[in-house]
Chains A and B, each alone.
Chain A
Amino acid sequence: MADIIGCVGTSHIPAIGGAIHKGLQQEPYWKPFFDGYVPVHQWLEQNRPDVVVLFYNDHGLNFFLDKMPTFAVGAATQYSNADEGWGIPTLAPLRGEPDLSWQIISTLIEKEFDVVTCQEMLVDHACTLPLKLLWPEGACPVTVVPVCINTVQFPLPKASRVYALGRAVGEAIAVWDSSKKVAVIASGGLSHQLDGERAGFINKAFDLQFMESLVSNPEWATQFSIHTLVEKSGTQGVELLMWLAMRAALTAGDGAGVRKVHSNYHIPISNTATGLLALEKVMA
């Protein structure tokens, strides 16, 4: 049976891609953001996951409004990145883990999450940047199962439903017949809003409370409606749904406890409050 080692939630602002490309990590603007990743690099180096299940939201690279799945699971052997239209460099393709993809798909359908399955799937900066942030040097050492959650078109899935989905993904990993080590990543948030007269909205108090809840009280954010989450975290801050799914995945299988490895929170990168949270699963 596969072993979940822990999870990492991280922001995925496109500008990060430009900063990495230009080598700006130690510039004053970027340093407080990039330096946050160093302790997580050390933890990953010590624990060396083989596979990552990555909760993310597509920003109009793979999915358009003609067909917009609420939940989509990648089942490809390889996922290509591509031109997203705003000039960030295209990164190398990611290697898939189809065996785990189909375990997740089977478990989710069994648990009545009727997901879309994708044997071809372009992945955008929300998939590529977290992996580049976590493994900045050389080729990405992990295989990936991307799980896309719609945050483009309302109605979005409820926070409680996303939590249940994440838990079911955790159960799928726990029953996967493999000796591989799995980490779960959430890509998105934290509070930000790009559109409307409220553009630039950031809510530090809410973000910090949300991050703390993931350590000690993971279901806390499921009390909120999507409308309330938008009000508290912004129209794009609602990407915190990914973090909720990630954390829920760690509540499945043996041992329900977590230990905080590291967290970082920095305002602003672009228009966004950035968050980073690494949790290690502990056998309670």
Chain B
Amino acid sequence: MPVKTAEPPIFGTTPFDGEQAKKGYALNKMCFSFNSAENRAAFVADEEVYMRRYQLTETQAAAIRARNVLQLIAAGGNAYYLAKFAGIFGLDMQDIGAQQTGLSKEAFKARLVAAGQ
């Protein structure tokens, strides 16, 4: 294992390090493919076939089916690539933020506004 310096964990934060990058490679590669409209359409047409093509693990496939961002991160997903997956469903960053924090979208947006006060 690579040597890591001991750093205290940050609440609710998963640094996308080598371990995550290795674990999430197939998932992130699939999400990277969603830069192409043709690939997005192919995923929508049959997501099971599309996930098998990218050899997602069962955990990753379950997280995709559940549309669950925290599960996708736990399965090695990276925020920048996952955003392309979310884009297929027209979800914006407040939808994603609300889902991950367990807030309503309105409450999540209010929290953002409050940060500026």
Contacts and interface: CB of A to CB of B under 8 A. Distances in A.
Interface of A: 15, 59-61, 64-66, 82-87, 152-155, 193-200, 202, 204, 225, 227, 230-231, 235-236, 266-268, 270-271, 273
Given A64-B29, A82-B35, A152-B16, A196 B73 contact: yes
B12 A197 contact: yes
Nearest to B2: A155
A152 B40 CA distance: 22
Nearest to B73: A195
Main SS of chain A's interface residues?
loop
Contacts of B113: 267-268
Contact of B14 (A15, A64, A82, A195): A195
B12 A154 contact: no
A198 B108 CA distance: 11
A227 B14 CA distance: 11
B50 interface: no
Given A64-B32, A65-B25, A197 B115 contact: no
A231 B7 CA distance: 11
Given A204-B115, A271-B94, A65 B35 contact: no
Interface in B10-37: 10-18, 21, 25, 28-29, 31-32, 34-37
Nearest to B22: A65
A197 B101 contact: yes
13 contacts: A84-B84, A86-B84, A87-B90, A152-B16, A194-B97, A200-B97, A200-B112, A230-B10, A230-B13, A271-B94, A271-B97, A273-B115, A273-B116
A65 B24 CA distance: 10
B84 A153 contact: no
Contacts of B73: 195-196
B111 interface: yes
B21 A195 contact: no
Contacts, number: 131
A1 to B, nearest CB: 38
Contacts of B36: 83, 85
A81 to B, nearest CB: 12
Nearest to A13: B93
Contact of B79 (A66, A82, A225, A235): A235
B51 interface: no
B46 interface: no
A204 B114 CA distance: 11
B86 interface: yes
Nearest to B39: A85
Contacts of B29: 64-66
Contacts of A193: 13
* A-B pairs, 7 with minimum CB distance: A267-B116, A86-B87, A197-B12, A198-B12, A85-B84, A202-B115, A195-B79
B61 interface: no
B54 interface: no
A161 B86 CA distance: 34
A194 B13 CA distance: 10
Given A15-B92, A230-B15, A273-B115, 16 more contacts: A84-B84, A85-B36, A87-B87, A87-B90, A152-B16, A153-B16, A153-B18, A155-B17, A195-B79, A195-B100, A197-B11, A197-B100, A200-B97, A227-B7, A236-B79, A267-B115
B103 to A, nearest CB: 8
A66 B25 CA distance: 9
A98 B77 CA distance: 36
B63 interface: no
A41 to B, nearest CB: 24
